[in-house]
A and B are shown apart, each in its own frame.
Chain A
């Protein structure tokens, strides 16, 4: 990954401003910013994530700019050993969108990770609306596997860390160059949505990596992802979602395709096309009586690992997470209208290698479980201060005594 100096922030900002001025011919009058607020805690179909972000509307240009930022401190103890307290700025994302015409929109997200060490275009796509049920999306798309992948903005959550199921089992964030269609339709309280895309896919790092387990890598781990599809076969990603304004939403998604390459420059690399297939289920709801928000996601992964490879790399994986958020106080606090205190808890489980050892018939380990109670304070819906305590048990492939890690997090995350 290319190293980027911190000054790149300034350069990028300059280029974005220049882009706006040149492409949209902005005058000083136009450069009046008007905040468009999205209620990030409201209940919508998760596929709407890209259109449901707060941003600044620039005059009447149809251009909007925004983003989110995260900073946190972390104090972890692993089996009684600690490296002390650290402060982190894991990411800042810039969101830029524009209405090219009434039915054509451009949306993008550029993420700066770890102080600018990594810069990635996570999303940059043009949407052309033919009909509410038929919209063409082309560019760098966020594959709709599960819900979290498309809904990964930090300010939406009461937890500093992203769920393990969404970043260690599924690749987070997973976006690729491709195109496809999406659409929604409504009837009464019911909402139905679908997405279907063809995109570039994975490569053999799924089973040839330094994490020492089968691992679907983030797309940015592949430097050629914008220009080349490693396997030459498209990755298919589809999702169906049904929502009810009173009940909540459920989604069922699939992602799959070939991940290896059979030959390169005439040389045989493998004898068989090998697939990765993922099925994910997601849901979210709010219990009206108590205001309790519950959301979760589960995924199952199948990978065709050669029989002649090591069992360190499993051919089946699965995991899930569930978040429960209970607002305790919601009222005006200081100058903030509708400020909210929440209690929350997250449960994480991932089995990275499901199966039994060929040699002994014993169960393969390599799984983790974590529970994270949390307190959060939202002065506004777009900003969250959060205090988390996470206790994790991680078992190695042999199921030796687990490594236990306790971690305190304090963080702030906000849209801007």
Chain B
């Protein structure tokens, strides 16, 4: 009898696991799904089924596809998969930081014959190859990869809206004079329908110094310059600048671009916290919002759910002079060495979840806290920084609480 009871207990337990709705056991034993506002990744709402499938395909290519030497990695490279620089779709970590070098103005490129002449240092190499070494005396910047969430919204902002925020000659006298980056787009991109060019140059908006036109340009560039993966869009090897057969398909690149376009905007947390509300007021009061513009809107997008939406990135997509402390003496495109495109602040409070529990802020990760990042602001942001320094301790805490809520 005892034997049968034992056997029944074993079988009943087993069958319970198999046959009962496992969903009902989830609450008891399974790890909970993180709150949506604690995650940077995830798709925007309103995608069709077909769009969700393409988003998923892009996610797999972006997050999981690891390039090996056999799949075309390198031979010189910076990272071996997209997500190695954007873990969890968040900011990068110094271990996968990258160096751009060579140009100190828009006219001369003394290192046009170095590698592929693109001025990004591929500082790692597959066995048997030597990585590139920074030429002695060359001006350079160390760069940390940005978060990639919400990029579809930024991509869909109209040129007119960007120009409306620009004030290159500081006509309003507030000491802030943002200007758009204009450059020649590569042939393979599709120009935005309501673009406002200046001659043959168009407004560029992605990158630390706004040197890529759109997300296709950015993605093809990253495959090529970061991983040494050539595509039909960018067929030259960064190692020697010579053309090679595509190592990634147009479809995969298209899926990754779609994935980046359809990543959700980071969701602000603790919005009703009085400290956060007060901090938001201080953010506006000390003119942080003059460059880190809280609210933008999209124009038409082929992805219907992105069209004509208001969103809160805290950027103006313009170049600003950030002062001598952040001036590395290196520049890209037509930006000055001290100019950087305003980075979006959304997702700032979640940076530590993609940077290993710490934060590495500013273009090169030198700021180890949000407060330190504020103090490093200079140039057009000098006044705002000084106002922050002069805030009371409570006000500073409120401002930091607000920034951490983003």
Contacts and interface: CB of A to CB of B under 8 A. Distances in A.
Interface in B11-64: 13-14, 17-18, 22, 25-26, 29-34
B356 A85 contact: no
Nearest to A81: B33
A406 B80 contact: no
A151 interface: no
A260 B79 CA distance: 22
A188 interface: no
Contacts of A389: 29
A209 B68 contact: yes
A270 B128 contact: yes
A385 B10 CA distance: 9
Interface string A361-375: 010010000000001
A79 interface: yes
Nearest to B142: A359
A80 interface: yes
Interface in B90-122: 93-97
A271 B128 contact: yes
Contact of B66 (A204, A212, A268, A375): A212
Interface in A362-408: 362, 365, 375, 377, 385, 387, 389, 396-401, 404-406, 408
A358 B10 contact: no
B354 interface: yes
A209 B81 CA distance: 12
A144 to B, nearest CB: 29
A320 to B, nearest CB: 24
Contact of A357 (B73, B95, B128, B131): B95
A271 B130 CA distance: 10
Contacts of B128: 268-271
A416 B44 CA distance: 53
Of B77, B87, B88, B96, most buried by chain A (CB within 10 Å of CB) is: B96
A260 to B, nearest CB: 6
A333 B14 contact: no
Contacts of A400: 87-88, 353-357
A79 B88 CA distance: 14
A308 interface: yes
A209 B129 CA distance: 17
B126 A398 contact: no
Interface stretch (A53-61, A70-78, A171-179, A283-291): A70-78
A387 B66 contact: no
A210 B68 contact: yes
Interface in B112-146: 124-131
B149 interface: no
Given A308-B124, A396-B87, A333 B94 contact: no
B358 A362 contact: yes
A64 B131 CA distance: 57
Contact of B31 (A78, A270, A271): A78
Nearest to B78: A310
A408 B22 contact: yes
Contacts of A408: 17, 22, 25
A329 B6 contact: yes
Interface in A305-356: 306, 308-312, 329, 331-334, 339, 341
Most buried by A among B6, B31, B34, B358: B31
Interface string A79-119: 11110110000000000000000000000000000000000
**Which of B22, B88, B358 has most chain A Cβ within 10 Å?**
B22
A405 B30 CA distance: 7
Contact of B80 (A85, A269, A274, A310): A310
A410 interface: yes
Interface string B215-241: 000000000000000000000000000
Given A77-B31, A85-B18, A400-B87, A260 B68 contact: no
A2 interface: no
Contacts of A75: 17-18, 22
Given A359-B95, A387-B17, A269 B127 contact: yes
A211 interface: yes
B189 interface: no
B10 A311 contact: no
A81 B36 CA distance: 13
B43 to A, nearest CB: 14
Nearest to A204: B127
A309 B14 contact: no
B34 A80 contact: yes
A80 B30 contact: yes
B131 A308 contact: yes
Contact of B97 (A85, A274, A332, A359): A359
A211 B354 CA distance: 20
Interface in B143-165: none
B394 interface: no
Nearest to A379: B7
Nearest to B124: A310
Give the one of A81, A84, A204, A271 with max B CB within 10 A.
Answer: A204
Interface of A: 73, 75, 77-82, 84-85, 204-205, 207-212, 260, 268-271, 274, 306, 308-312, 329, 331-334, 339, 341, 357-360, 362, 365, 375, 377, 385, 387, 389, 396-401, 404-406, 408, 410
Given A312-B80, A357-B94, 16 more contacts: A75-B22, A79-B32, A79-B33, A205-B68, A308-B130, A309-B127, A310-B84, A312-B84, A360-B95, A360-B360, A365-B356, A375-B10, A396-B87, A399-B356, A400-B354, A401-B353
17 contacts: A80-B31, A205-B68, A210-B68, A308-B124, A310-B84, A339-B3, A357-B95, A360-B95, A362-B358, A375-B10, A387-B13, A387-B17, A396-B87, A398-B355, A400-B88, A400-B353, A410-B17
What are the 4 tightest A-B residue pairs by CB atom distance, in nearest-first order?
A80-B33, A398-B356, A404-B31, A77-B30
